Amino acid sequence: MVEKTINPFSLVTAADDYISEKLGNENTFRKNALNIIPPNVRQFTYDLFGGNEEFNEKDLTENYKEELKGIAQNVLSKGKNTISYEDYDQGTASKSIFENIFSKNYNLKTLIGSGKVTLNENGEIIVTDKFDYNDAKDINSLADVKEMISGIITAYKGGDKNRPDGIYGALREGIRYFGSAPGEGSDVEINLGKYKV
């Protein structure tokens, strides 16, 4: 017998859409959550609970769309088709997670990372990605648990100069064991509107 898992986020979304349609307005729970909870935090939580539905422009506020559009236009103006970490204009490693969480640029960096940027047939900018963790690991033994705990402590203390440290580093190290492996997470496809030359 095949068990079907019910995703609580899908139920909330469906109920929210239904209520919004019946009331004829856009002031929905999801819309209010968009304005309070940063998109990287929402997607991180969604991924931890096994969510894998597409993340698109409806999941971003207008301010986040404008920030991402600026980044994508800059990438295209350089003749590139991939956003690199250097394209996000803020150095974040030296800042606390509490400073970073209020930065749209940082939140997009930790949501999308290295996303693809294309123009569709209507001249609209499309950013695509997969919300997954390229360095995901499984826990199959007590040795793996020990490695995970050791890695989290090392990340927190800043033991690897190529990785972030502090609270974010520890969270990022831990999520390797619980987040989506490469190719498993939500597809990201964000239409940012017309490319401005």
Task: List pLDDT tens digits, range 27-59.
Answer: 566 666 666 889 988 898 888 888 889 999 989
Quick check: is 1 in a domain?
no
Quick check: is 131 in a domain?
yes
Q: Are 47 and 26 in contact (CB under 8 A)?
A: no
Q: How many domains does the chain have?
A: 1
Q: Model pTM greater than 0.85?
A: no
Closest CA to 48 of 14, 11, 8, 13: 8
The number of helix segments (H) and strand segments (E) in the chain equals 8, 4
Going along 25-75, which residue ranges are E strands?
55-56
Quick check: is 2 in a domain?
no
Question: Regarding predicted confidence, which is higher, 93 or 52?
Answer: 52
Q: What is the mean pLDDT of the chain?
A: 81
Assign residue 140 a region (left: φ > 0; alpha: ψ between -120 and 50; beta: otherwise): alpha
User: What are the C-alpha distances in Å from 36 to residues 22, 32, 90?
Assistant: 24, 7, 22
* Confidence label for 102 from pLDDT (cuts 50, 70 and 90): confident
Eight-state DSSP code of residue 87: G
Quick check: is 3 in a domain?
no
Pairing of strands 116-119, 124-131: antiparallel
Closest CA to 47 of 113, 115, 130: 130
- What percent of the chain stands above pLDDT 90? 27
pLDDT recorded at residue 79:
95
Burial class for 151, CB neighbours closer than 10 Å (0-12, 13-18, 19+) = buried
pLDDT recorded at residue 2:
46
Quick check: is 111 in a domain?
yes
Query: Is the pLDDT reported for residue 151 higher than 70?
Result: yes
Whole-angstrom distance, CA of residue 47 vs CA of residue 63: 23
pLDDT recorded at residue 163:
65
Q: Which domain holds residue 96?
A: 8-194
Query: Is the pLDDT reported for residue 1 higher than 50?
Result: no
The residue-averaged pLDDT of 136-158 equals 85
Tokens encoding 87:
């394209």
Quick check: is 164 in a domain?
yes
